[in-house]
Structure 1
Amino acid sequence: MLFVLPDLPYGKEALIPTISAKTLDFHHGKHHQAYVDNTNKLIAGTELENKTLEEIIRATAGDASRAGIFNNAAQVWNHSFYWQCMKPGGGGKPTGPIAERIERDLGGYDAFAAAFKDAGLTQFGSGWAWLVEKDGKLAIMKTANADTPIAHGIKPLLTVDVWEHAYYLDYQNRRGDYLTEFIAKLIDWEFVNEQLAK
């Protein structure tokens, strides 16, 4: 199976001013593309070449001898998921089942927003902040580098990329401002509800 770079679910200028077309051009067109290309190269001729991304991630997680495969495959998956977590005119308070679950499990939207932002801010170096479902309850978690909830049997519902390439052209060192804007203006709660229903 040859992996291909998925198209963005919106135009490159659709998330302005929160995320610039230039950032999307580099982030999607260069960084994500490189992870796709590297994954294809690294699995060629191995027993993994006909597996799904999820199967490759689970098969290589925690195996130091296959860290290169894991890192690239997990970054392909994480980025493909991240693009779908955003939409023009998104963000703000959720509706539907996720709103009820956030109220029940996390103490409401304001508590979720504070905890989600804090996870992104306190992730040292590169990584991701996540809203997940774990043991039947919603939780906030963060992962370093390419690590992903699916490597740990946890269901991801929402993510924000806190690698510098996700925000540095637009926000420089102001990761907190990027996270505030992401939460207020970009989250696609319909997509999050779809993940919850799976």
Structure 2
Amino acid sequence: MENICKITILAFTLLSFSGWAASDEGFQGLAWGASISSIKKKFPKATQEIVQENYHPICENSDGTARLCTVSQQSCERFGILCHPSLSIKEYMVGSYPFDIEFALSKNSTLDAVSLTYSGTLKAKNKSIGKQIFEHLMDSLTKKYGQPINSEYYTENRAGFIGGQQKWQTTSSRINLNYHGQFDENQKIVRATITIIYSPLNDDFSSKL
């Protein structure tokens, strides 16, 4: 198993990358609800790739019978998500770090969230590296948005699991920082995911369930 630590960041704020800080408007001057053309104008390298999916009898007709559709189509009909392929940019350099950017779209094809996924690797690094990244992100987000409204600080246990969670809220956006990972008997990272979800404040997923 590869010891790779992938860091997924949805519209994050790093102290050292203040120029990339997301504003209340959305991300980098793109307001929530921005059109695909507006996203491409701001980020010319952004492309939209249609992923081929298999069809299954999982969508429901008005009479209760099932019909063939993809998982994305089912999610769109039931929850209003995954209705359109996201726009993305591969290997975008932020400072000295490479990131994959993803612009998630709403049901009406407008900007609904932004994710940045760290595309480098941290093979067999000491678990302290993951903690340093988590704390750096936490400190940077706190510097920009103030104290989190909910906090579960970085913890680890004897089984080798590590994690933490922080939540912030602005007048128009919510930011969730999550860290989940595992280390081996040599204190080396086996797997880890650090995720920051940055989305509109009025995007209440629970209302779609």
Q: Which bin holds the TM-score, normalised by the shorter protein?
A: under 0.3
Higher helix share: 1
Largest Rg, 1 or 2:
2
Structure with higher strand content: 2
